[in-house]
Chain A
Amino acid sequence: MNSSVIVFPGSNCDRDVATALTNLQFKNKMVWHKDSELPKSDLIVIPGGFSYGDYLRSGAIAAKSNILKEVIKAANSGCLVLGICNGFQILIETGLLQGALLRNKNLKFVSKDINLKIINNENKFCNNYKKNSVISLNIAHNEGNYFTQKDHLKELEDNNLIPFKYCDVEGSINESSNPNGSLNNIAGILNNNKNILGMMPHPERMVDNLISNSNGIELFTSILS
């Protein structure tokens, strides 16, 4: 499977994702933001970091970059697109995903491992996870507080477009297990066609038992299968 990782000035998780993808047998290419052509891709990853120094709003400038025009075209024709952390913020700014990522409710940059409940696994990114299982991934962000209008929130819930929610170690989804104030503890969302996933947690940081756990592997193997 061919993957492309988009690199902006200020991206800092691009190589982590590339390593995870390559180790899991993707044929990966790095794509610079000024490029105007995408290599043939089954999966496009927009990685985490601080593209353009988070100027104006996180992801706002990156969303207007050259290569994003191609990413939008590919996404609209069904290519799988995964935005992690800043990548999620960029997808929101392009309009490919709806809603907004506000500053964390407690105003702090939160960097820690959190628990996630797999709410919906019937999509190309999560089908190797068991529904309702609890996994642990890392988060590291300042603007991850997901917000959207009431009717869109209902649409997300009703159409199974929320793959993960923040929970405690037992799987309870409540205010104390919400690290950033996100509506309904949302940690990631899909578009209506389920080919675009934006998520704040970092699966690429959890693929090697030597340095963490391996709870992120299934996300990538789901895409492969």
Chain B
Amino acid sequence: MRFAVIITLKKDVLDPQGKVVEQTLQSMGINSLKNLRQGKYIEIDLNESDEKKAHNIIEEMCKKLLVNLIIEEYTIRKI
């Protein structure tokens, strides 16, 4: 079973990299750009056929290592 984890900085945490990318795109003439946040994307293959169990394992990975819960938030998607 395959999952994707998307990690981004929480809304109230300054994202200087995202800001620079945003400003660069705006300066390239993309005027409809309102807001951009940069994050991380992690793909995980699991040897687990029960989706609920698998989801719990990914959740544990996020909480224990992949995500710094003080500054980051995450979403898990089955792919």
- Residues of A in contact with B (beta carbons under 8 Å apart): 56-57, 60, 64, 93, 98-100, 102-107, 147-149, 181
Task: List residues of chain B with CB within 8 A of the CB of A93.
Answer: 68
A-B contact count (CB 8 A): 30
Residues of B contacting A149 with CB < 8 Å? 70
Given contacts A100-B71, A148-B70, contact A64 B65 (CB under 8 A): yes
* Bound-complex Cα distance A104 to B14 (A): 10
B17 CB-CB contact with A under 8 Å: yes
Which of the residues A64, A98, A107 comes within 8 Å of B17, measured between beta carbons?
A107
- 12 inter-chain pairs at a CB distance below 8 angstroms, sorted by A residue, are A56-B65, A60-B68, A100-B68, A100-B70, A103-B16, A103-B17, A104-B16, A105-B14, A105-B16, A106-B16, A107-B20, A149-B70
Q: With the chains together, A147 CA to B14 CA distance in Å?
A: 10
Find the residue from A56, A98, A107 having the highest chain B CB count within 10 A.
A56
How far, in whole Å, are A64 and B71 apart by their CA atoms in the complex?
19
Chain A residues within an 8 Å CB radius of B20: 107
Partner of A57 from the list B13, B14, B17, B68 (CB cut-off 8 Å) is: B68
Check if A60 sits within 8 Å of B70, measured CB to CB: no
